[in-house]
Chain A
């Protein structure tokens, strides 16, 4: 098969084109950060799949979409058509990958922070940018809006999870005891004076007491992000380690930037961030990035 003249080889290097097992066929991986996609874009993807692919799509485990069965000589035309409609191509290889997140506070009743909004910001800031290219290995980020951690931030190289620190306005408490039975951590017991007592060492900052309180006596003292570092799956899975609690949302991008700088400097080629962190030591990593 001859190389089509129109193919942009530098574009191929940026990733997002996955060679299939079958000769001359590729899958086009789309960049759909936080899995949010418009119905119009879905229509366009369907159209491109029918026109240039085999009419089949793959929903990836990272909230992405891949158009399968595109022949080598059609890739560029398919790409152009997708990009014209505002659809972008995803990544593979040692790069900052498309960020994943849950719908977050705007949609989910459990959400404590706008994880999807932050995910889009993270993606826009680091994907395909100098800071997110030429890394030792792939770099995955996931952002969860609450302590349920549906997008699995601890299984990513870097993860954020929303958290909330509760405070009791005693005058508003009518001693109903709902917080005591709602707290899944056993961190709240009703005291003899009828007011709840919170054991901070057991509290995981989930905010269930705030959300369930019928009289709004539990209120948020601060809202922030728990940061996890060095998680991965694959052959040797390891959960990410807690890097920090209550990172202010406005500092969220800065911390990722510091971690990427650290990883570029200390990570050996082919080494996931978790391995680098284990080698250097978490305390030293904290000293360097926080």
Chain B
């Protein structure tokens, strides 16, 4: 599977903490191990907190890209 292949995605812009993390967690739970989830997160608390919590759950952050319009594109590899 290539690094940039995305199996699923979630647009979490405008979604507050910790709902954004819970949605990410639930989505990851229904995905296969090794597959890739792309999420969009606002700057501020969401980008500071969600990747950290995802890491703590044992998943891997493959890529984070800052996009115009104050949000981030985050790629997660499910453990």
Contacts and interface: CB of A to CB of B under 8 A. Distances in A.
Partners in one complex: yes
Interface of A: 109, 174, 176-178, 181-182, 208, 211-212, 214-216
Interface residues of B, number: 17
Contacts of A211: 48, 52
A214 B48 contact: no
Given A211-B52, A215-B61, 20 more contacts: A109-B53, A174-B63, A174-B64, A176-B66, A177-B66, A178-B47, A178-B51, A178-B64, A178-B72, A181-B43, A181-B44, A182-B47, A182-B48, A208-B48, A212-B47, A212-B48, A212-B49, A212-B52, A214-B51, A214-B61
Contacts of B61: 214-215
Contacts of B56: 109
A177 B68 CA distance: 13
Nearest to B51: A214
Contacts of B49: 212
Contacts of B27: none
B43 A214 contact: no
B43 A212 contact: no
Nearest to A215: B61
Contacts of A212: 47-49, 51-52
Contacts of B74: 214
Contacts of A177: 64, 66
Interface in B23-74: 43-44, 47-49, 51-53, 55-56, 61, 63-66, 72, 74
Contacts of B43: 181
Nearest to B18: A109
Contacts of A214: 51, 55, 61, 64, 74
Given A174-B64, A176-B65, A181 B47 contact: yes
B18 to A, nearest CB: 10
A157 to B, nearest CB: 34
A242 to B, nearest CB: 26
Nearest to B45: A182
